Amino acid sequence: MLKEILNKFLILNGVQAAIVIQENGEIIESMKSGIVIDRNLRTALSAIMTDTKSAATGFDSASLSMVFAEYSDKFLILGPLAEEFFLVVIAKSTANIGQISYEMRKNQEAIVSLL
């Protein structure tokens, strides 16, 4: 069932991966196309998750809702699901950021119910 939800992201134009990942870098489930999720990427994602949660405490304990990072030809959007679980979407720079973030919010509860 989780794979079915993550597959909804892969049908969006330019999306290369949808990943449910723990804060420690362990991948719970992923759907990907044309991208390799290696240990270096998992480590980097773990660092982003940990650092952004720490930064949120500096904003009067504001809860983290979404992180966006843009690179030369790709971007990633990271959103919290539950205590230490996150949804990460990696897409080409031509993908529709608004559509992806909308789908992330729309499917958040369904994903959490499967964790």
Q: Going from the N-terminus, what domains does the chain have, and what CATH number goes with each?
A: 2-114 (3.30.450.30)
Report pTM.
0.84
pLDDT at position 69 is: 83
pLDDT at position 11 is: 93
Residue 92 predicted with pLDDT over 90: yes
User: pLDDT (tens digit, 9 = 90+) per residue, 17-65?
Assistant: 999 988 887 888 888 887 878 788 777 777 777 777 777 776 766 666 7
Per-residue confidence at 9, pLDDT binned at 50, 70, 90?
Answer: very high
Q: Judge whether 12 and 94 are in contact, CB under 8 Å.
A: no
Of 49-53, 79-83, 107-111, the least confident:
49-53
Q: Taking Cα atoms as reference points, which of 76, 105, 80 lies closest to residue 91?
A: 76
C-alpha–C-alpha distance, residues 34 and 22, integer Å: 22
With a CB cutoff of 8 Å and minimum separation 6, the contacts of 49 are 21, 23, 78, 86
Instruction: Name the average pLDDT for the chain.
Output: 85
